[in-house]
Chains A and B, each alone.
Chain A
């Protein structure tokens, strides 16, 4: 086990709704990254937070937003859900941001989001 937890495990929403996914990082890990993984594809980087500030963002629209809290937890919020948002959402925590020798990422089990 990686010590990274995510909730909920599964979620079903309808198009246009909003969703909040939660992640609890390993204790001491001040960096968290979020990924979207569609079925049969590799994870796509959404964004990274380091010490509660956004530290990088992938090619995702502004309706994808995030928060990181001092207690090593974080949230991914998605507004105006679209059918294509159906995917496995993964968070990963690390000791440091990209490029450092301690940037090994530990992934949580993911949240499976289905948008109908």
Chain B
């Protein structure tokens, strides 16, 4: 069945270091969305990418959608302690919606 995997599962970085999480789908997605979930919280929408090869930036965050619309990445430059949380990619295909397995980011001050 459809799977959306993310790597790494966990990432510990020193404050100021960069961070990247990769998202891979077993099938082509209509779009890709990224969410951040803080411990004890609910997913919060970050961004949506729709076009093949699309790149979007939000301050220190850069999001990419692969040419085949089966993979995506989120890159954070110069992490801060406020970046702590789990980052999920998510996408739709047909009338189904799939969340990735998530990458838990810990930022060490």
Say what secondary structure dominates the interface of chain A: loop
Chain B residue at smallest Cβ distance from A58:
B96
Asked whether, in the complex, the Cβ of A42 is within 8 Å of the Cβ of B1, the reply is no
CB distance from A64 to the nearest CB of B (A): 15
Residues of B within 8 A of A97 (CB): 95
Chain B residue at smallest Cβ distance from A54:
B95
Asked whether, in the complex, the Cβ of A103 is within 8 Å of the Cβ of B99, the reply is no
Chain B residue at smallest Cβ distance from A55:
B95
CA distance A110 to B44 in the complex (A): 12
Residues of B within 8 A of A33 (CB): 97
| Chain B residue total in the interface (Cβ 8 A) | 24
Asked whether, in the complex, the Cβ of A90 is within 8 Å of the Cβ of B42, the reply is yes
- The residue that A42 contacts in the complex, of B45, B94, B101, with Cβ under 8 A, is B101
Asked whether, in the complex, the Cβ of A42 is within 8 Å of the Cβ of B88, the reply is yes
- The residue that B95 contacts in the complex, of A44, A48, A104, with Cβ under 8 A, is A48
- Using a CB–CB cutoff of 8 Å, the interface residues on chain A facing chain B are 2, 33, 35, 41-45, 48, 55-59, 90, 92, 97-99, 101, 103-110
- Using a CB–CB cutoff of 8 Å, the interface residues on chain B facing chain A are 1, 30-31, 33, 35, 41-45, 48, 50, 88, 90, 92, 94-102
